[in-house]
């Protein structure tokens, strides 16, 4: 399954380590709607990197931060 799912633990955005929701937001804020970011995450004890196309700013940040928690 591509994308971000509930329970995923985000550890990097575009190969830059993140440890808080604020850091995830900061990485996404550096981009424009329509840009694609590479999100590295743990899902079911497996490390994955998935491409995420950013939608509108509010929606993109909500999706990334919600998935982190």
Query: Over the stretch 10-61, which tens digit does the pLDDT of each residue have?
Result: 999 999 999 988 898 889 888 888 889 999 999 999 999 999 888 765 555 5
Model confidence band, residue 68 (pLDDT cutoffs 50, 70, 90): very low
What is residue 69's predicted lDDT score, i.e. its pLDDT? Answer: 44
pLDDT for the residue 42: 93
Q: How are the residues of the chain apportioned to helix, strand and coil, as percentages rounded to the nearest 5?
A: 30, 35, 35
Supply the pLDDT for residue 64.
57
Q: pTM for the full model?
A: 0.75
**From CA 18, how far away is CA 24, in angstroms rounded?**
6
């Amino acid at each position: 399954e591509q994308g971000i799912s509930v329970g995923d633990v985000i550890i990097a955005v575009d190969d830059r380590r993140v440890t808080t929701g604020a850091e995830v937001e900061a990485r996404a804020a550096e981009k424009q709607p329509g840009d694609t970011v590479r999100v590295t995450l743990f899902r079911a004890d497996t490390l994955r990197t998935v491409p995420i196309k950013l939608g509108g700013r509010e929606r993109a940040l909500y999706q990334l931060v919600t998935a982190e928690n």
